[in-house]
Structure 1
Amino acid sequence: MKLVISHPPDTFEAQIVSREKRFIIHARDHDGRTFLAHTNNSGSMVGLVREGRKALFSTSSNPNRKLPCTLEAIRVDDMWVGVNTSTPNRMLAAVMRCPSMREEFGLCGYHTFTPEKRSGASRFDGRLEGYGSPTCWLEAKNVTLVEEEVAYFPDAATERGRKHLLELATLAAAGYRAGIFCLVQRTDGRCFAPADFIDPLFAAALYAGIDAGVEVWPYVAHVDEHGIALGERLPLAPRPCCP
């Protein structure tokens, strides 16, 4: 494990009761009191949100927030699964601050990382710049779905994700660098693939992007009660054969 980022301050453990619509979690604390929490994960979180499961919630100090608590991770058997979709962005920023990790990603020629930068009609999660190196555009994805040891993204159809892939492919074809950092926030995946059985259009866009030069960096995250540690890089699963 190479890098560790902490959970937000005042993270605590409680039990899941249910999910309401997409962004609200009903939970119960150790004293049996129920409360509402926010989840920024708009995916299905299939197989994760179940009544009685342990979960980690962070607490915001912002007095203007309607729901001060945010769902960070869910306990599945003996494994924590990180579901906060801002965590990959935090980890990507930590990677870019670490020279040895930039070297591992093949990004030694870059020195300036700027989050949340716009190119054309899209706002990407990051932009890297360096002397003599083409601008590198980056997206970060949170992966929580694993089936038969394959980590899959997405867990729900994503028009926005497909749009970003197409624009990254266009940038790569124009001579820029473009990459997708996929943080697999669970430890039971052995390789990574797009979930063509959930969103075939996204899968087709990812493969087209790879062919255009978009780089894909899937990494395992080891999640516990204290934080998230960056683990090993996963290989890409073999591309399905065309019929």
Structure 2
Amino acid sequence: MIISKRVVIAEFVKRPNRFVAYVNLNGKEIIVHVPNTGRCKEILVPGSKVLLREELNPSRKTLYDLIAGYKDNKIINIDSQIPNKVVDEALKDQKIQKLVKYNIIQREKTFGNSRFDFKLSNNMGEEYYLEVKGVTFEVNGKSMFPDAPTQRGKKHLLELIEVKKIGIGAGVLFLIQMSNIENFSPYDDMDGAFGEALRFAYESGVDIFVYECDVGENYITLSKSVEIIL
């Protein structure tokens, strides 16, 4: 997907809380919104280069969103709203082979007491629920999730297992918001309960997809699958 709004380069200064950061743009320190509640500590390093997306909304307190950072010349997108948009585009372009038979794509659909990112279906009455998780944590080409404890993430996995139990398709897709990744695994040292839930989901028949992205300063698109190590 192309980022249609203007993107500019700035220098990261500090992040006093999860929602805002200070950056140096054209010699002036300004406050910007951070659309990601994860830690991103290995990306948002003082003095590092970051990308800002201009948001021309008069009701906002900040003019820019901090959407990506450079790490060793690699662009890592950190916008938490991006993964669902990228996956939506990939589903419509039939890039995810196992899911190409579903031609009806719906966003944010409820099943029982749960709401999933996607409900997929087709004219034969087959249904599939898909949850998407954005991944921004990487060390030496190896990516992991989550970068902060996530009770919500564990809950989604357990709910997908319940979907699978009644004969409906279910899967979770980890979208790595960067390129050149060797493999993916749950970050057990950060959240062991999530790792246990992911392995249980896999054993219960829930599909696990992992894809990396091609990322530029004004675009991000799903590219190729990545090896999963559970």
Q: Please report the TM-score for the alignment, with normalisation by the length of structure 2.
A: 0.94
Alignment of 1:121-200 (within 5 A): 121-200=113-192
Per-residue Cα deviation, 1:2-23 (whole angstroms, up to 9, x for no partner): xxx1124111111111112111
Cα deviation, residue 229, structure 1: 3.0
Whether 1:24 aligns to 2:6 is no
Whether 1:221 aligns to 2:218 is no
For the Cα contact (< 8 Å) 2:102–2:122, is it kept in 1? Answer: yes
Which of 65, 69, 73 lines up with 1:78 in the alignment? 73
| Structure 2 segments unaligned to the other structure (5+ residues) | none
Which of 23, 27, 30 lines up with 1:35 in the alignment? 30
Cα deviation, residue 188, structure 1: 4.1
Q: Please report the TM-score for the alignment, with normalisation by the length of structure 1.
A: 0.90
Structure 2 distance, partners of 1:231, 1:121, is: 33
Cα deviation, residue 75, structure 1: 0.7
Which of 37, 55, 59 lines up with 1:60 in the alignment? 55
Q: Which residue of 1 aligns with 2:6?
A: 10
Per-residue Cα deviation, 1:156-214 (whole angstroms, up to 9, x for no partner): 00011111111011111221111112111222421111111110011111111111111
When structure 1 is superposed on structure 2, of 116-125 and 209-218 the one drifting more is 116-125
Give the partner amino acid of 2:117.
Answer: D
Structure 2 distance, partners of 1:27, 1:200, is: 34
Give the partner amino acid of 2:135.
Answer: V
Q: Which residue of 1 aligns with 2:228?
A: 236
| DSSP-derived class of the 1:6 partner | coil
| DSSP-derived class of the 1:210 partner | helix
For the Cα contact (< 8 Å) 2:35–2:67, is it kept in 1? Answer: no
Cα deviation, residue 96, structure 1: 1.6
Per-residue Cα deviation, 1:109-155 (whole angstroms, up to 9, x for no partner): 21111111122333211111112253211111111112243210000
> What is the total number of aligned residue pairs between the two structures?
230
Identity value in percent: 30
C-alpha root-mean-square deviation of aligned residues, in Å?
1.5
Per-residue Cα deviation, 1:45-103 (whole angstroms, up to 9, x for no partner): 1311111111111122322122231111101121111111111111111012113x14x
| Structure 1 segments unaligned to the other structure (5+ residues) | none
